[in-house]
Amino acid sequence: MKRKSNPVGFKNVQITGGFWGGRITLVSEKVIPYQRDALNDSVPGAEPSHAVENFRIAAGLSKGEFKGFPFQDSDLAKWMEAASYSLAHHPNASIEKALDELIDLMAKAQRPDGYLNTYFTVAAPDKRWTDFSGGHELYSAGHIFEAAVAHFTVTGKRSFIDLAGRYADYIISVIGPEKGKMKVYCGHPEVELALCKLYRATGEERYLKLAEFFIDERGKAPVFLKSEPTFSNGKKDRWLDTDYHQAHLPIREQTTAEGHSVRAMYLYSGMADVAAETGDVRLASSLRRIWENVVTRRMYVTGGLGSQAYGERFTIDYDLPNDTAYAETCASIGLVFWAHRMLLLEPDRRYADVLERSLYNGSLSGISLDGTKYFYVNPLEVHPATATARKDHEHVKTERVPWFGCACCPPNIARLITSLGEYLYSVEGRTVYAHLYADSTADVRVAGQKVVLTEKTDYPWDGRISFSVDTEKPIRFALALRVPGWCGGFACTVNGERIESGVEDSGYLVIDRTWSAGDSAELILDMQVRLMSADPRVRADIGKIAIQRGPLVYCLEEADNGPDLHAIILSPKAKFKADWEPDTLGGAVVVRGDAVRIVSPRRTEEPYDSILPETEPTTVTAVPYCLWCNRKPGEMSVWIRCGD
């Protein structure tokens, strides 16, 4: 199935202000320098990375031992990608120089045959291509390819992409369908989508062919991974079996999301890329089946994925515990990647709605308001005393931390935010789709003519979205505006006059007309507070409700509501008021409403008593989930007990 619409590249979309403009500026001006220091082990109190030092050792510029995980190179590559994206809108000579120096360092570390991996160069030079289960060679290579494409796209410099091409060409000389080559794939998918990016940037079809090979090969019986001594950490472990690697069945026979949730998201993204480039209808059909399984049975209301800490993985349908959820930041980011690719294959708001849910909630919760602290795991309920006392909660952090030894998430959220412009618009023929809303300016090429769209909005705090059109001469095209699935009602005007146009089956309001310079359109979305319930088969949420306003999921925090959040009961008939509070959490819409709290007139200190509990009235305050834990640490809950 060929791609139906093409994204308007991030270089052509300038996010100018509002919710995302401030965050892009923060990441560009503060987060990227901070993460550079963390990768160079110069942030006091942060867990050391050693990522840059590993490259110095591999290049022969330092002496010492490799430190970190076998995939430590990928942390640096993701940072380089984020930094490259940031230069498109926030030029910074210091960051550009740092990138040039790192590319030069990588070139020195690259082996004469093109191979580039510090772990297998420094720590295990005799183990190259022997550990596909856990060695992450192709995974790390993929992140280098992605960074190189971003750097080339933004700067036009060839140093990095040429280095990446040499590495990719070396891999092609070793792995592939041809006789004498290894018939393998990485235990951690990622290289597939990266090769597709490299193909689009260079036009070299061999990179696409290798991506297609990896997808076709995965899951073929017998699964070669099982013959590796490192498979399942060298022991029989049902949680780390072939499904952990999405290799339990050939790709086109898979119908459910299995295994490690980040690996799954990267794989499905690569599958979507290959389907788009090759027109593989069967591959696209498989993706749709898996999509339905993920978003209707295995996804949290925040867009989080992965309900079990051990294996960081999916389990079974509707198993979505809140306090032990894994919901890794990288998994939500991966869902953004996948949803965007599905949206390009088939413009439909069901993909954009999930993209938006995961972006605003499951992904953004992974970074603090000041950009210097991070969550790896994003549970939907936290009780600090329990989280620090129980073994099955040890993955849950009660506060964001400055860095991780396994630091995949911090640079991942940085690269997502700095490249966000690419997710706003796409073009199909003479239709311009607006998928996400942000204060921005976009240079769009439609019907052979340049059109500049200027968007003004305070979304997601406010549902008013205004577009102005600038074009050299009148041009007919269709502007397709997404009406989100959460929206209970909307209004639209063109040049101040209300239009009575219905929403198409795809979920987009299509305004097809001849546009002239100075024309405008305005979409007003209903932003009422909504109470959400879960499918009754989600055992953790039975009898509970969650609060959502616009795309934002809300939560209760101890900072506003006191301890024992589990004792609060919300009525489904409760009335809520949403107000903008400039001094709360950097400026946010806060939701307040009436509730009751369970109290117990106990006669003794015994834990159980025949006296039934009573309730007393209270007022609850809910804040956006993505902003929780930016004040003092304490309890947090997304799902709240429901009752009259």
Residues tagged active-site: 312, 408
Structure-token pair, residue 464: 């008013």
Helices (H), 391-520: 409-418
Structure-token pair, residue 78: 């993701």
546, 625 Cβ separation under 8 angstroms: no
- SS3 of residue 497 by DSSP: strand
Cα angle vertex 396, ends 393, 399, to 5°? Answer: 140
Q: Give every CB contact of residue 431 below 8 A, 6+ residues apart in sequence.
A: 5, 446, 477, 478, 479, 480, 510
- SS3 of residue 282 by DSSP: helix
User: Rounded to a whole number, what is the largest CA-CA distance in the chain?
Assistant: 82
Q: What are phi and psi of 512, to 5 degrees?
A: -105, 110
Burial code of 25-56, b = ≥16 C-beta within 10 A, e = fewer? bbbbeebbbbbbebbbbebeebebbbbbbbbb
Kindly state the DSSP code that residue 501 receives in the 8-state scheme: -
User: For the chain, what's the residue count?
Assistant: 644
Distance CA 625, CA 300 (A): 13
Q: Give every CB contact of residue 562 below 8 A, 6+ residues apart in sequence.
A: none
264, 258 Cβ separation under 8 angstroms: yes
Distance CA 91, CA 633 (A): 36
Q: Where are the beta strands (DSSP E) in 276-423?
A: 381-382
Distance CA 453, CA 469 (A): 5
